């Protein structure tokens, strides 16, 4: 009787041990899958950071362009002032005929329109730069938040996937907005040229 009881307990222990081993194997497999998913999300975060770096470089390039446009506007204003002075001097001296005076007036008007166009382009580029910097800051904050969530728990993987998808959509929308702004600027320049 005792032998039967011992054999029964022994069999039960063997079954329990086998079940535990199977559970351990299942947990190891699940852990490996979670680690693989974690690595994939880390790679996606790295890609987003690369995109942010590229956007920051674009912001720097836009800053340089704004500086160049400002210098050009100043030079054009100075040139317009010089032309106005020459026109006044020609009027006082009456050394030129009316046709030359009209030509200089037209030249001054063209320079003033160029100055206005350049001022409008500078304002547009400055606004685009401001929006791009804001978007770059938002993307940087989003990437940091996702990195923190991945370190804190594996259970937030599904949420991180949805957030990364929204970030990609925002990035695509930003590119579309930038292209729309460029087309709008080109259209305004064409309208100014037609005038």
**CB of 181 closer than 8 Å to CB of 61:** no
Do the beta carbons of residue 83 and residue 104 sit within 8 Å? yes
Write out pLDDT tens, residues 150-161: 567 666 557 667
Mean pLDDT of the 113-130 span: 78
Which pLDDT score, from 0 to 100, does residue 148 have?
Answer: 72
| 9-58 pLDDT, tens digit each | 777 888 888 888 888 888 888 888 888 888 888 888 888 888 888 888 88
Count of alpha carbons within 13 Å of 118, Cβ hemisphere only? 19
Distance separating alpha carbons of residues 104 and 20, to the nearest angstrom:
96
pTM of the shown model: 0.27
Compute the distance between CA of residue 85 and CA of residue 74 in angstroms, rounded to an integer: 17
- What is the rounded distance in angstroms from the CA atom of residue 4 to the CA atom of residue 8? 6
């Amino acid at each position: 009787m005792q032998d039967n009881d011992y054999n029964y307990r022994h069999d039960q222990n063997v079954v329990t041990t086998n079940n535990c081993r199977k559970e351990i194997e299942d947990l190891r497999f699940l852990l490996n899958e979670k680690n693989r998913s974690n690595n994939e999300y880390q790679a996606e975060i790295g890609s987003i950071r690369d995109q942010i770096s590229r956007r920051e470089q674009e912001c720097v390039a836009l800053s340089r362009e704004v500086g160049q446009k400002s210098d050009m506007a100043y030079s054009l204003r100075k040139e317009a002032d010089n032309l106005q002075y020459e026109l006044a001097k020609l009027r006082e001296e009456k050394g030129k005929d009316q046709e030359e005076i009209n030509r200089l007036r037209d030249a001054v008007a063209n320079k003033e329109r160029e100055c206005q166009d350049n001022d409008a382009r500078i304002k547009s580029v400055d606004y685009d730069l401001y929006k791009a910097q804001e978007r770059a800051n938002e993307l940087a904050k989003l990437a940091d938040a996702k990195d923190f969530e991945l370190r804190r728990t594996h259970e937030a993987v599904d949420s991180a996937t949805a957030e990364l998808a929204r970030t990609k959509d925002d990035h695509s929308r930003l590119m579309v907005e930038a292209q729309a702004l460029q087309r709008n600027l080109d259209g305004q320049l064409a309208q100014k040229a037609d005038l």
